[in-house]
Structure 1
């Protein structure tokens, strides 16, 4: 099945359609006109997004009941409308002109795991940073609570390193906001070239280190 004829993706595992719907719902709440790139190779499909304000790439992947070859950028809202939770499937809407980020994804292969970190620890760090932002923003004089000042404060906080992982705190913030930090267990830390990835059972957040070269396409190995 090619990109021009793929009309429906059917997931192999229970709950995948609901998880995709939750992911898309968060994206659309932040950005009504958000776009996502769908890439499917063999029996695995990945949905890639760049959530507004976070400056990271997010991906949710799932195994398919039957192999499908597909690479298309679509409206996140239209894709959400086509999620069929009862039948663990999603219809593929018409292609749209993709944003610039959709053409610059990390390499397909070469990922290596260099560590793990407890999910609850990442959640705690993200929650503490969110609390710090709110507290410092509330202490600003009313005349200073304008977009430029708040953006600078956010950049200061979210650019800090996440421990010794090499990831910025914005990766933890995005994972928290996207619902990727749930339950117990550990998040996997992987890297390839200039790219770093925080991966849990619910999705991945990927960042590109400054000065890195471009890549050809993120692997859609199940998370």
Structure 2
């Protein structure tokens, strides 16, 4: 399995994305969906709870490919990181990447959001998203003392990152705080950017469209 990119910069961009995702979860995974000349790369920022994956927060980065592709695999971020480290160590300058052969099956990869049917529900300022991320990171750190059980930490994270981001007037924007975490950690937005970005919804899913990627979050089943 291999992916061919139009230039080295695009391939390096994927490497940066993989490194950022690994900073969130070193043992995480990435789903690579390549159709025609476009690659969609999915990673999990916040794992969901229960059978429906409520609270799941996913990052999506799309990028161009050279030539036609047909690929849909989920592989370990560590294996992808090894590929890029080896390229760097060997001074490889090509634009083709060999995808790791061993696939993994994280639960989130089987509950991706729908492609169509999205309806606009509002906008959110990037500064408000990033502020929510900073507040959430601090709350999780303070509320999860050393030695806390995995279940307790997971519940706290789910509560914090599911909260609605508020605007300057204290009005809910429709975007969850987890979208801010993804925006900051994955490099989808920069501090100081004063723009507002769109928020869409489809069923239980919310999508925030950022300058360098998308964040998709799953709320409670049946959420309007």
Q: Which TM bucket (shorter chain)? A: 0.7 to 0.9
Change in CA separation of 1:44 and 1:212 when aligned onto 2, cut-off 3 Å = farther
Whole-Å separation in 2 of the counterparts to 1:152 and 1:106: 22
Aligned counterpart, 1:201 = 211
Deviation at 1:117, TM superposition (A): 2.5
The answer to whether 1:41 aligns with 2:48 is no
Aligned counterpart, 2:164 = 161
Contact residue 43 and residue 58 of structure 2 kept, 8 A: yes
Contact residue 31 and residue 72 of structure 2 kept, 8 A: yes
The answer to whether 1:103 aligns with 2:110 is yes
Change in CA separation of 1:207 and 1:152 when aligned onto 2, cut-off 3 Å = closer
Deviation at 1:39, TM superposition (A): 0.7
Aligned counterpart, 1:94 = 101
User: TM-score if structure 2 supplies the norm length?
Assistant: 0.74
Aligned counterpart, 1:22 = 16
* Counterpart secondary structure, 1:166: strand
* Counterpart secondary structure, 1:105: coil
Equivalent of 1:177 in 165, 169, 185 = 185
Contact residue 79 and residue 90 of structure 1 kept, 8 A: no
Aligned counterpart, 2:122 = 115
Greater Cα offset, 110-119 or 144-153: 144-153
Contact residue 43 and residue 66 of structure 1 kept, 8 A: yes
Q: Tell me the C-alpha RMSD between the 2 structures.
A: 2.9
CA deviations 1:2-59 (Å, max 9, x no partner) are: xxxxx32223466332222122113334433322211111221111122365831121
Aligned counterpart, 1:76 = 77
Change in CA separation of 1:110 and 1:155 when aligned onto 2, cut-off 3 Å = closer
Deviation at 1:155, TM superposition (A): 4.1
- Any unmatched runs of 5+ in structure 1? 1-6, 214-223
- Any unmatched runs of 5+ in structure 2? 49-55, 167-171
**Length, aligned pairs only:** 201
Change in CA separation of 1:52 and 1:117 when aligned onto 2, cut-off 3 Å = closer
Deviation at 1:89, TM superposition (A): 4.2
Change in CA separation of 1:24 and 1:65 when aligned onto 2, cut-off 3 Å = same
Contact residue 79 and residue 91 of structure 1 kept, 8 A: no
Whole-Å separation in 2 of the counterparts to 1:100 and 1:155: 16
